[in-house]
Structure 1
Amino acid sequence: MSSSRHAIATAEPEILEARSFPAPSQVPHWVDTGRSRGFGIASYLEIPFMHKRLIAFCTLIGILAGWFAILAWPRTYLSEAKLIVRVGRENVSLDPTATTGSTLLFQKTQQEEIVSVLEVLSSRQIIETVVDNLTPAAILDGQLVGAASQEQAVTDEGSLGDQVLRSYRSVQSSASKSLQKFLLTAGVKESLGDRELAIMKLQSSLAIHSPRDSTVIVIDAKAKTPTMAQAIAKEVTASFLDQHLMASHTEGSLEFFETQSAEVEVQLNRLVEQRSDFMQERKIVSIEGNRSLLQDRLTGIDRDLVIASGELEQAISEINDLKAKIEEADDEIVSSKLAGSNPTWSGMRQQVYELEIQEQELAARSTGDHPMLRVIQAQLEGARKALAELDSQRVDENTTPNPLKMKLREDLQLQQTRVAGLRSMVETKEQQRSEMEQRIDELLDGEEKLTETDRNIRLMDASLQMLREKLEEARVLDELNSKEISNIHVFQPASFVERPVSPKKPMLGAGFLCLGLMTGLGLSFLREGASPTLRTSDDIEFQLGIPVVSTLPAMRRMRTPRLKDQQLMRQKCQALVSEVLLSQGNRSRLHGRSLGVIGVDLGAGASTLAVNLATVSSTDFNMKTMLVDADNRQRSVSKRFGLNGSPGLVELVGGHASHDECVQRADNVAVDLVASAADNCDAVLTSGPAEIVQALQAYQHECDLMVVDLPAASDPNQAIALAQHLDCVLVVVESEKTLLAAAERLLSRLADSETNVVGVVLNKTRCYLPRVMRGFVHPRV
């Protein structure tokens, strides 16, 4: 047995574990594309590490979404007030009035009293009182009017985050209003007033409860701002105390209001001092004085303008009235009347007198329906009419110009003169008013910075006045009830907590972080499951049904690989040569074997594998090896060994060079090389595969192993036809780059040409698992 045969027979390479695959000469079962993609535990564990950038990106997006959610999520603040229900006069204890008269032996249990207090606190009357005191607008907006103005002023000068948050809230408010309008239009929601909506919202934001086996009543109020939450809790407490005081005629809030009044007064004094310091620092002395003076002048001008306008309207009305009176008055009037003597009138007057006497006599003797009486009355009426006509004819009248009409004309002229003067005065006053308003506007520009402080002072003063009024009411009630203390005690006033209870930032941030992480993992597994490429040996064996004879790791530096990478590649190639040669049925034919290496795509590493196989066969197995570069397009082997100036396979097949001229010896490697073509040769292999194989047979008889670097299957050439004339063929698949469809297409063409495919080499594999985990799972790479 020759030395090469002995090396092959005695070598103990890394043979892959036995697997039941179809024989190389048989048609593989990879054409069954309906198989499910196979993954081992190592493959599943590698997916998160392989797509760590996607997972990190999704996690970052989740963190950013969580940050935005934390930023945009409406804040909810909680204010807590606690009341303690002590033993009162209701159960005949410390209340002295219970023994002043006839006593009814009736005692309520403590639990009944707690339930009664809870019912009163939860009653609609308390809610309505709080809404009326705080105004429905404040309840619906979730913040007090003064606090809203301050917050708006601070937000207007805030950072970019505040501006984004304000824009988001504006868009959210517009969307909510549009939705409310749509629901109202569709009839899904009833139209309610602001007061009723405020009551409903306040009922949902209040939580009143009592711990078990305790006399403490806890009032929890939630709102958008801590000030509003405190105001609601404080207002509910005050309203309940007032209602309880009126219902039970007890008092216990005097000290509370005294304390609150003192605190508010201290705060008010502090604000006044701050305002004074502010004015002293900026040397502001007469802004209010000037404003008051200008306002007084403006008021005087307005008053004069109103008076002048009223007088002008009155004068115009008087002119219209005088004109109407002048038109109605007569130009002349009767100055004197003279009555003359007339015998006819005297006779008629005597006749009337006689008829009146007759009427009186008949009326005295008979009834009103007597015919004679009616005749006399008719004659009397006619005589009286005739007498009246004669009386008007006997009077002589003298006329003269009407002095009243002349007086009206004089008054008309006076009023017209007055109207002209008033109109001039009105124009003058209006001009003065415009000038004064301009001066006031200029003055107001200088006091904008004092507006906020003045508003706070007014609010604090109003609060102080309200507390003093409550204090006076408490004092009066305390005097009326003999200064007795109520059984309800506020031992914890409404708290002011600046930390919101919602959202839960750690929980929300963790939720979005987990959401981003899970989204990244899901996308990673989805991307890996839907990937059209081949990554692991399990993918190839499950999808293509053909054995993977070796897996080669990716090298960082292909030109100058590291020593460790060289050793690993050498071991892999030793195992591959041994398995390919020992896996064939005819082991007696160990001379003149031909092995083709073909890549599914360009850059799969088929040329590098061919070079390493030839080198290992010659160096480690003492086989006379010849390496043939049949890829006349890429010419990777020729470039690797610097054979581009030598004649090659193209010249040999074309008859332009002899066999000896085409054979070259590689430096430092005992391998005979046949280049693809010379540099000055642009021709391609146009001869048939049989002619190429016939040209190579002369070399094949002179060597133990001929390794042929075939062109990539993606490059149009005669690779498939040439491969069927070789003894065996290795298909090189680049991990994560080679498409499943391309590999299926190549293997289908090889199977149709009855090419002996001994297996697939998975090249440029990467192990993404950390070194700590590799020892536990032993991934197959």
Structure 2
Amino acid sequence: MQGWSAPPQEPQKVASSPAVGSVQEHTVFTPADLRKVVFKRKWIILACLLLGLGIGLYFALATIPQYEATARVHIDFSRSANIGIEDLIQQQLGGGGNAEDKLQTEVEIMQSETVAMEVINSLDLYHKAPFDAIFKTSPYTGTLTPAQRHEIISLFLGSTKVQVLPNTEMVEISFRNPDPKVAMEGANGIVDAYLDRDLRAKFQGTTRVSNWLSQQLTSVKKQVEDAQQDLAKFQRENNLVAMDATGGDLVTERLRTVNEQLAEAEADRIVKEARYRMAMTRNPDLLVSVAPGTVLGSLRTQQAALLVQAAQLKAKFGPNYPKVVEVNNQLEKVQSDIDQEINSLTKRFTEEYDASVNTESLMRARLEATKQEAYRENESAAQFDILKHGAESASELYDALQMRLKEAGITAGLSATNIDVIDRANIPPFPVLPAKRSDVMFGLLGGLIVGMALAFFMEGLDDTVRTSDDAEQIAHLPTLAVIPRFPIAARKGTDPQPQKVSPDLVSLLEPQSIAAESFRTLRSSILLSAVDNEMKLLLITSSFAAEGKSTCAANIAISFAQRSARVLVVDTDLRKGTLHMKFRMSNRVGLSTLLSRESGNESFEHPIPELPNLTVLSRGPIAPNPGEILASRMMSELLMKWRSEYDHIILDSSPILAVSDTLGLAQQADATFILVRSGVTRKKALQRVREQLRRANAHILGIIVNGVDLRLENYYTYAKRYDYGYKSNYGAGYGVKENQDGQK
């Protein structure tokens, strides 16, 4: 790859650049940015992937196998079992509602604590895994503490799954356990416990009415017996043995009619008293059974649906979830409506009962008046008729109530016949857990997600400059060249001149390499930027030490020298300059001795015989006052002198943020370059360097990004061997002598 260069332009002052801190970041994250992040943090992502794989394998291998047995039942709400007691018992004791709501209610009943405890007790799960682990510290002695009861029920319900099969009236009951036999017994036990509970609940609801009717029958039976005894006694006392059955006259007929009406009023009072007593219990289910046409049934169905919804939401989101609060408010409103409807029904039944009692009282009063009249006409005959009709009425009422009681018993037995067991659970042949493939896949996926999240987190914490794009966005200056990272150690064994110069000088040692081409690209950028105004005095600086200034200055100088230009490279870092090490030179004399007039022309050396036009001036011994020496008039005179003697003067300066020695030289330089080392130079440091050079009125030409991994550059897409033939046939002739046959 060829080094990236900026278009030709004049050296610029950066006074109009944004202030420090006004960094403009990317607003759009591109796939190229994603590729850079993944490549930079590949080891973190790989480590997370391996960790996720390890966790997945651990769960896949360490999870105890779980077996799941499944049973299925059919709940048919369309079956009818109503054959009697029209006013007191309805076909469905639970009220109205659609089948879906009813099915969901039955599902909740199957998962209730009552059913769970019945199964636990019937199967003796206290001594079977994993339930026996609850009693390790406190053995089971026949009774459960509240904590143990809660824990064993939670564990049982956690192993149970009850669901309605879509678009059917089928309910599927599944139970998991490490023992396949216990799994089968658990699923079947839930079905059996539910059937028993459903039968008991429906039978008990009907028999409550039957019990009250039985109590009423005892009282009516006593009335029948007393009436018959009084009739027989009256006949004996008054010798009324063969009296006409029709009464014989109008008064007797009227007496018979009033007595019949009284019997009807009494029967009506008994029925309405039954309703009244049921209303006084305030049991919604019983009230629905005696008042099916009211809205109470729909309110109860709505309440059941809201209870199911509230339980589901609370289990998923917790009691404070807004939807849970809303459903609870709706439950309170429905309960209030139910209470109001119960009050209304209670009031109605009370009024009906009072009216029936009042009617009965009036009929009795009328009967008494008629009797008195009958007494006046024929006391003996009237009294006989009264006793006879009383006995007959009591007997009829007794027979009617006894028939209703038998119907109630039959209805109670038939009301639980709407549930069919379709499939009972069998012993499962294979475990459902662990799902090894899923565990491994989820582990890998989780590791990838965590790795990517961690990579982006580390990327957010990384405030160093990595690419030319980063440098341009931060400093608002053009990038003149991108110098790739090149391994020095790998070339030491093949270095053609290992003792003459440092292996860092790739422009000389490996002129066909991509790194050498990058320095030539920088040279071209400098020359094209000075077509009309030749730049001789060039200064290279950076924010801190060890960012590659000396290596870059030496390679640029060699690149200029390879064009037969007269080049002088000067080490102006009088504190820690390393330019003499790059050229394997002595440092006994140099710029410090030259400025202090302790040496003369012997300070200038030509370390590379192949490039006699390249002159190097090392820093010399460490000076006690580098800043004052570099700012002296002697230094300015030397710079003026060198301008006339050389085509290019390259100043390897000290870091700006470490010392202030460079700022004075930057004012006199024709062009200043800010060197940035990829992954080392921080963004704030680059901003600070630019700001200090701006205040010193330096002519900043641009930025040089050093040590870049070219795979992070968005315009470079090759993953391997990014020289693509440079070393074999590109860049030939730069510093390489040809033999007489013209061969390299």
RMSD of Structure 2 on Structure 1 (CA) = 5.2
How far did 1:728 drift? 1.5
2: CA distance, partners of 1:120 / 1:54: 52
Q: Report the CA distance shift for 1:574/1:243 in structure 2 as closer, same or farther (over 3 A).
A: closer
Q: Offset at 1:747?
A: 1.7
Q: Which amino acid in structure 1 is aligned with residue 485 of structure 2?
A: A
Give the SS at the match of 2:675: strand
Structure 2 CA distance for partners of 1:144 and 1:722, relative to 1, 3 Å: same
Partner of 1:746: 689
Give identity over the alignment, percent.
19
What is the deviation of 1:209? 5.8
1 CA distance for matches of 2:715 and 2:529? 35
SS at structure 1 position matched to 2:649? strand
Report what 1:145 is aligned to: 127
Q: Is the 8 A contact 2:68 2:432 kept in 1?
A: yes
How many Å separate the matches in 1 of 2:148 and 2:3? Answer: 86
Is the 1:76–1:225 contact (alpha carbons within 8 Å) kept by the matching residues of 2?
yes
**Alignment partner of 1:33 is 2:24:** no
Match in the other structure for 1:220? 174
Aligned counterparts, 1:442-481, within 5 A: none
Amino acid of the structure 1 residue aligned with 2:70:
E
Out of 176, 182, 207, the position equivalent to 2:162 is 207
Q: Confirm or deny: 8 A CA contact 2:126 2:132 kept in the other structure.
A: no
Give the structure 2 partner of residue 545 of structure 1.
Answer: 476
Shift of 1:735: 1.0
Could you tell me which residue of structure 2 aligns to residue 496 of structure 1?
428
Task: Find out whether 1:632 has 2:592 as its counterpart.
Answer: no
Amino acid of the structure 1 residue aligned with 2:567: T
Matched, 1:43 2:39: no
Give the direction of change, closer, same or farther, for the CA distance of 1:512–1:14 in structure 2 (3 Å limit). Answer: closer
Structure 1 residues 217 and 54 mapped into 2: Cα distance closer, same or farther (>3 Å)? closer
Q: 1:40 to 1:719 in 2, by over 3 A?
A: farther
| Number of the residue aligned with 1:733 | 676
* 8 Å CA contact 2:45, 2:452 repeated in 1: yes
CA contact (8 A) 1:78 1:500 kept: yes
Q: Distance in 2 between matches of 1:599 and 1:694?
A: 25
The equivalent of 2:564 in structure 1 is 622
Partner of 1:643: 585
Residue type of the alignment partner of 2:528: L
CA 1:241/1:773 → structure 2, altered by over 3 Å: closer, same or farther? farther
Equivalent residue number for residue 393 of structure 2: none
1:582 aligns with 2:528: yes
What one-letter code is carried by the residue in structure 1 that aligns with 2:690? L
Distance in 1 (CA, whole Å) between partners of 2:104 and 2:480 is 81
Report the CA distance shift for 1:122/1:723 in structure 2 as closer, same or farther (over 3 A).
Answer: closer
Whole-angstrom distance in 1 between the partners of 2:63 and 2:480: 58
Where structure 2 has 5 or more consecutive residues not aligned to the other structure, the ranges are 82-100, 139-144, 201-418, 490-501, 723-744
Aligned residue in 2 for 1:774: 717
Q: Give SS of 1:601's match.
A: coil
CA contact (8 A) 2:565 2:613 kept: no
The residue identity in structure 2 corresponding to 1:205 is T
Residues 542-571 of structure 1 show CA distances to partners (whole Å, capped at 9, x for unaligned) of: 211111111110111175468768532332
What letter is aligned with 1:608?
A: T
Q: 1:229 maps to what in 2?
A: 183
- Matching residue's letter, 1:579: S
1:764: Cα distance to partner? 0.6
- With over 3 angstroms needed to count, the CA separation of the structure-2 counterparts of 1:122 and 1:567, relative to structure 1, is closer
Name the CA distance, whole Å, in 1 between partners of 2:154 and 2:624: 93
1:268-667 paired onto structure 2 within 5 Å: 493-500=425-432, 506-507=437-438, 509-557=440-488, 559-560=502-503, 567-584=513-530, 586-587=532-533, 589=534, 593-619=536-562, 621-667=563-609
User: Could you tell me whether the CA contact under 8 Å between 1:534 and 1:739 is conserved in 2?
Assistant: yes
Counterpart position of 2:121: 135
Q: Which residue number corresponds to residue 698 of structure 1? A: 641
Contact 2:573 2:619 in 1 (8 A): no
Instruction: Tell me, in whole angstroms, the C-alpha distance in 2 between the residues paired with 1:521 and 1:720.
Output: 43
Tell me, what secondary structure is at the counterpart of 1:651?
helix
Structure 1 residues 646-655 or 691-700, which shifts more?
Answer: 691-700
The separation in 1 between residues aligned to 2:72 and 2:564, in whole angstroms, is: 96
CA contact (8 A) 1:649 1:674 kept: no
- How far apart, in 1, do the equivalents of 2:151 and 2:592 lie? 96
Closer, same or farther: CA 497–26 of 1 in aligned 2, 3 Å = same
Distance across 1 between alignment mates of 2:19 and 2:113: 77
Q: Secondary structure at the match of 1:135?
A: helix
Residue 46 of structure 1 deviates from its aligned partner by: 0.9
**TM-fit CA distance, 1:601:** 1.9
1:16 equivalent in alignment to 2:38: no
**Is 2:711 aligned against 1:722?**
no
Structure 1 residue 661 displacement after superposition = 4.7
Rate the CA distance shift 1:212–1:664 in 2: closer, same or farther, 3 A. Answer: closer
Aligned residue in 2 for 1:340: none
Q: Whole-Å Cα distance in 2 between the matches of residues 575 and 117 of structure 1?
A: 79
- Tell me how far apart the structure 2 counterparts of residues 148 and 516 of structure 1 sit (CA, whole Å): 31
> Counterpart of 1:676?
618
Residues 79, 497 of structure 1: 8 Å contact kept? no
Q: Any idea what the Cα deviations from partners look like across 1:46-105, whole Å, max 9, x if unmatched? A: 1111111122233344445555666888976421246899xxxx99xxxxxxxxxxxxxx
Assess if the C-alpha contact under 8 Å between 1:131 and 1:195 holds in 2: no
Give CA-to-partner distance per residue, 1:173-219, whole Å, 9 cap, x none.
Answer: 9xxxxxxx9xxxxxxxxx799499849955992537678789x9854
Deviation, 1:759, is 0.9
Q: In 2 relative to 1, CA 691–40 (structure 1 residues): closer, same or farther, beyond 3 Å?
A: farther
Letter in 1 for 2:572: A
One-letter code of the match for 2:518?
A: K
Distance 1:218 1:739 in 2: 63
**How many residues were matched structurally?**
461
From the superposition, tell whether residues 30 and 552 of structure 1 become closer, same or farther in structure 2 (CA, over 3 Å).
farther
- Verify the 8 A CA contact 2:110 2:162 in the aligned structure 1: no
Contact 1:147 1:227 in 2 (8 A): no
Distance 1:636 1:760, change over 3 A: same
Q: Contact conserved, 2:109 with 2:115, CA < 8 A, in 1? A: no
Q: CA deviation at 1:762?
A: 0.6
Deviation, structure 1 residue 623: 0.6
Taking structure 1 as reference, are residues 711 and 223 closer, same or farther at Cα in structure 2, changes over 3 Å only?
same
